[in-house]
């Protein structure tokens, strides 16, 4: 069993790799070879990647693909997507092409408000705290002027600060609930810096507030942090067309197809087990573009799933209706994104992705990503209510299976042709490859 190590972060990259391979690998030299194989040959680019996080050893590559033919508000875009799962890019592309001649996707930003909170404990008279806050509020805005000046010049800043009484949930618990506009920046550092200054001012002013008793003066700030739940930073994307244009498959009439899609969404609205998988499929599209543009997919995931539960029941993020002879399909998503700052400004491929998207503002990127999620969901539901999800997915997954089984390029070509009209399963492909190897 390896011994704990002290000062690991101070080792050189080579020393870190040697220590790791020696202590935790069954094959020391093989581990070193794999790690170094993924280093970039451009030393400057490798150094840039090394500095993104701590204790970097190598790069972990994911494919970046393109889904073309997205008509969004009459602008034709090709959307970059970073994801490891087979069939996601193909599904998005298929949905984009389907809606291309039906008016494409229409989007609207419903709000861009972001949230941060100062969480604190106050033991005393609630009415006195309310009076204190009313006097304090102008001082809070003044205390952050040096932090908000640049953001305000770009049209952003602190929108509001309110006092929230949360004692019904936790004894003596209160919040300064703050809303922000950060324009094209995601704004995490800006928001957190503002919150920490607000917390400092809160404590200082409370300690000097004459109406407070000695105990009331001792406000305990527990933490000051932005929230990744942004229910007022929301975008809507939708598609619609006459039902008779829904010629998706010969096995279903357009009206039957439309009814099945509506029913599938209804099921995801009432059954959480289905809703989670339904929304996971949406996030296949969302996360892929979030990653490609250097944004924080963990924050987006957390906020989106909280939004799906906002009424106390986890539901579908999409909706579908039949209104007369018109089929409508739409999504509303909370998306706090940035197109300046962070990785968006320093990761070469993130910068390229934003360039390929015609250098969108944060609001425009919100719309693009919502469309990617909606397209992904339409493609998934279309497959589910017709041929089933496995037919298309496993066809796309075939290449991964063949690689895993060690097939040669010639064998891959031969078996790809064979399975065009056969059901793809791991065992069926393995058996077919075994026959090829036997007949060499």
Q: What is the C-alpha separation between 163 and 265, in angstroms, rounded?
A: 39
Q: Which residues are catalytic?
A: 85, 280, 296, 393
Q: In 3-state terms, what secondary structure has residue 357?
A: coil
Q: What are phi and psi of 375, to 5 degrees?
A: -60, -45
Q: What are the residues whose beta carbons fall under 8 Å from the beta carbon of 396, sequence distance 6 or more?
A: 86, 87, 90
Give the DSSP letter of residue 340: B
Q: What is the C-alpha separation between 205 and 228, in angstroms, rounded?
A: 28
Q: What is the C-alpha separation between 359 and 365, in angstroms, rounded?
A: 9
Per-residue DSSP letters for 156-185?
A: -EEEEEEEEE-TTTSTTEEEEEEEEE-TTB
**Would you tell me how many other CB atoms lie within 10 Å of the CB of residue 247?**
11
- Tokens at residue 212, please? 């407070």
Distances in Å between the Cα of 356 and the Cα atoms of 326, 353, 359 are: 33, 5, 7
Residue 130, CA atoms < 13 Å, CB-side half-sphere:
5
Are the C-beta atoms of residues 160 and 178 closer than 8 Å to each other?
yes
Are the C-beta atoms of residues 336 and 201 closer than 8 Å to each other?
no
- The 3-class secondary structure across 194-218, one letter per residue, is HHHHHHHHHHHHHHCCCCCCHHHHC
């Amino acid at each position: 069993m390896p011994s704990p190590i002290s000062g690991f972060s101070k080792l050189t990259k080579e020393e870190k790799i040697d220590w790791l391979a020696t202590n935790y690998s069954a094959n020391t030299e093989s581990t070193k070879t794999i790690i170094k194989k993924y280093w970039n040959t451009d030393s400057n680019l490798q150094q840039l990647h090394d500095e993104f996080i701590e204790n970097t050893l190598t790069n972990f590559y994911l494919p970046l693909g393109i889904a073309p033919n997205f008509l969004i508000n009459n602008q034709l875009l090709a959307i970059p997507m970073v994801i490891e799962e087979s069939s996601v890019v193909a599904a998005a592309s298929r949905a984009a092409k389907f809606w291309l001649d039906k008016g494409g996707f229409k989007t609207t930003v419903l709000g861009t408000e972001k949230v941060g909170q100062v969480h604190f404990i106050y033991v005393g008279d609630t009415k006195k705290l309310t009076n204190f806050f009313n006097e304090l509020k102008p001082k809070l805005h003044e205390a952050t002027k040096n932090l908000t000046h640049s953001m305000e010049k770009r049209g952003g800043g602190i929108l509001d600060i309110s006092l929230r009484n949360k004692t019904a949930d936790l004894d003596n618990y209160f919040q300064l609930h703050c809303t922000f506009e950060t324009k094209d920046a995601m704004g995490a550092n800006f928001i957190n810096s503002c919150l920490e200054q607000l917390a400092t001012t809160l404590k200082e002013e409370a300690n000097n507030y004459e109406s407070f008793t000695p105990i009331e003066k001792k406000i305990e700030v527990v933490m000051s942090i932005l929230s990744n739940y942004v229910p007022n930073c929301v975008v809507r994307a939708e598609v619609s067309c006459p039902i008779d244009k829904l010629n998706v498959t010969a096995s279903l009439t357009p009206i039957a197809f439309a009814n099945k899609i509506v029913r599938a969404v209804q099921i995801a609205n009432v059954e959480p087990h289905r809703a989670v998988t339904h929304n996971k499929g949406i996030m296949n599209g969302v996360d892929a573009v979030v990653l490609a543009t250097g944004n924080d997919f963990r924050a987006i995931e957390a906020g989106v799933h909280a939004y799906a539960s906002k009424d106390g029941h986890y539901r579908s993020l999409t909706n579908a209706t039949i209104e007369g002879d018109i089929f409508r399909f739409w999504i509303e998503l909370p998306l706090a994104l940035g197109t300046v700052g962070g990785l968006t400004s320093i990761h070469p491929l993130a910068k390229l992705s934003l360039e390929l998207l015609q250098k969108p503002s944060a609001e425009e990127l919100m719309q693009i990503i919502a469309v990617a999620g909606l397209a992904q969901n339409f493609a998934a539901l279309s497959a589910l209510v017709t041929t089933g999800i496995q037919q298309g997915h496993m066809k796309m997954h075939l290449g991964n299976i063949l690689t895993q089984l060690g097939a040669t390029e010639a064998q891959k070509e031969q078996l790809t042709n064979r399975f065009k009209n056969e059901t793809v399963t791991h065992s069926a492909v393995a058996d077919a490859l075994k026959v090829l190897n036997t007949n060499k």
